[in-house]
Amino acid sequence: MLHLKLDTDPRWAKIAEQDLEEILTDHAWCEQKAATNAITIITLNSEHEDLVEELTELAQEELEHFQRVCKQIKARGYKLGRARKDHYVNELYKFMNTGGSQLQSMVDRLLFSAMIEARSCERFKLLNNHIEDKELSQFYYELMVSEAGHYTTFITLARKYGKGIDVEKRWQDLVTFEAELIKNYGTHGSIHG
């Protein structure tokens, strides 16, 4: 369903499990950034009523995820650390066409967002399947399902509004770009690390 070209090595889940405080803190900030991203898309494209409605709901859900992750952190006696840079997302951002038309920029931002959700979903599936903490395993199953829905929302909106743009080619180019990029990740205890 996610159409990723390169899967994460399942050993990444064990790396992440070795420092739950770090992975949970990184995850919390990923959720906050996802909410901010959705709001940014709304701000830049407010003339599209259904996009505004769908991404408002998505942003609210991402903030609820942030809150849920913070509760997991607190329940384990950890502290929410400072926000981390997400090098994967920063590198992925380089693919986006920021100098084109507003429509091209919107489509690229939607596809970029879909890719992040797809990779997050894949990572959550690994955590669900491979970590020993049963409560966290179930937690990541629930979030995996949610991220799959977010992926679908973003890619559907890109296809809907991408009139005159070869959205499928742009998506395939992004998938190929991401497959090369992700080869450099999967060895650190962060959601995209």
Q: Cα separation of 119 and 125, whole Å?
A: 10
> Sorting pLDDT into bands at 50, 70 and 90, what band is 82?
very high
Angle in degrees, 0-180, between the axes of helices 102-130 and 134-161, rounded to the nearest 10: 160
> Sorting pLDDT into bands at 50, 70 and 90, what band is 96?
confident
The predicted pLDDT at position 26 comes to 96
Q: 178-188 pLDDT, tens per residue? A: 999 999 998 88
Number of helices and strands (H, E) in the chain?
A: 7, 0
CA angle 26, 31, 35 (to 5 degrees): 145
The predicted model scores a pTM of 0.95
Least confident of 29-33, 52-56, 87-91, 185-189: 185-189
- pLDDT > 90? residue 125: yes
- The answer to whether 167 and 51 are in contact (CB under 8 A) is no
Q: DSSP class of residue 2?
A: -
The predicted pLDDT at position 1 comes to 64
Let me know how long the chain is.
193
Q: Cα separation of 11 and 140, whole Å?
A: 16
- pLDDT > 90? residue 98: no
The Cα-based distances of 75 to 18, 71, 96, 166, 189 in angstroms read 17, 6, 39, 47, 20
For the segment 166-187, the average pLDDT, to the nearest whole number, is: 95
The predicted pLDDT at position 89 comes to 95
